[in-house]
């Protein structure tokens, strides 16, 4: 295993060096296909809109099928960029290498996972342990947390989601989510379900928190750009775009996937509600 990991690391470095110093790299592609995370999707869409305004000859297509499907698309060569709200798994790396691809990660932003409830819910703070107890089915009624005598409606992301895996790792600590939880396919769907259900609780990326839902203080910390960028908020994660190797300098793919490093890219990330990597 150690040898295989070493080989992967060497190959990754070689891919990066090759991309950085490839002679005569030119802007060849005019179509960029992006697939994956619904959390990263808004960043990719905003980047695409901005990039195409600068380069009308380039067409950038963004699909939001979830982090797992984004990884599959990159492995199968059906996308140029895989949006992922989690790091690629070892088995996904292995599958990619088997097909001659070398995933390279670009951290485009940092995100806090906000625990949200209906604005009418008087409960405003929980601990990570209490959230875990809710999703395990140990706490079943808002009355147990100082709220109304109403059964809690748990909303979760689908299991193919990077957001689900972040929640599973940082909140559930590998404990099983109760069978009574409802599963939906996107951050937007969780927000919609919570805003229409007074007894609901869900979790979404920071960029999906608006006035239609109420984000809770977790362990005494409210999720916002300052608490996430400072590392104080306990449920935070990096957001990724993966490419097959490091894109050649001078190509549209290179310019697009490094847009997050520019002043305009950082501005876009912050406007959407996520934390630019330069603030972390």
What is the spatial distance between Cα 257 and Cα 37, in angstroms, rounded to a whole number?
A: 15
Beta-ladder partners of 240:
84, 107
Query: Which portions of the chain are predicted below pLDDT 70?
Result: 1-28, 280
| Residue 76: other Cβ atoms inside 10 A | 12
The sign of the CA dihedral 242, 243, 245, 249 is negative
pLDDT score for 280:
61
The answer to whether 24 and 249 are in contact (CB under 8 A) is: no
Q: What are phi and psi of 28, to 5 degrees?
A: -105, -50
pLDDT score for 246:
97
pLDDT score for 160:
83
């Amino acid at each position: 295993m150690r040898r295989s990991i070493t080989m992967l690391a060497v190959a990754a470095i070689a891919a990066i060096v090759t991309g950085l110093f490839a002679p005569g790299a030119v802007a060849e592609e005019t179509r960029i296909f992006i697939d994956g995370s619904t959390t990263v999707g808004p960043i990719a869409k905003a980047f695409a809109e901005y990039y195409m305004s600068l380069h009308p000859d380039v067409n950038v297509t963004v699909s939001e099928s979830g982090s797992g499907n984004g990884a599959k698309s990159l492995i199968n060569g059906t996308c140029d960029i895989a949006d992922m709200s989690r790091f690629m798994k070892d088995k996904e790396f292995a599958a990619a290498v088997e097909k001659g691809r070398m995933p390279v990660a670009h951290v485009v932003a940092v995100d806090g996972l906000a625990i949200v409830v209906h604005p009418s819910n008087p409960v405003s703070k929980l601990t990570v342990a209490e959230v875990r107890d809710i999703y395990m089915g140990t706490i079943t009624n808002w009355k147990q947390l100082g709220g109304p005598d109403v059964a809690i409606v748990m909303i979760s992301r689908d299991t193919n989601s990077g957001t689900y895996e972040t929640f599973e790792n940082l909140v559930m600590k590998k404990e099983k989510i109760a069978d009574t939880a409802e599963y939906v396919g996107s951050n937007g769907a969780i927000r919609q379900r919570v805003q229409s259900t007074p007894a609901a609780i869900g979790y979404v990326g920071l960029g999906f928190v608006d006035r239609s839902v109420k984000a809770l203080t977790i362990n005494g910390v409210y999720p916002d750009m300052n608490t996430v960028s400072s590392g104080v908020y306990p449920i935070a994660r990096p957001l990724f775009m993966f490419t097959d190797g490091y894109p050649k300098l001078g190509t549209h793919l290179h310019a697009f996937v490094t847009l997050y490093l520019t002043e305009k890219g950082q501005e876009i990330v912050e406007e959407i509600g996520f934390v630019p990597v330069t603030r972390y």
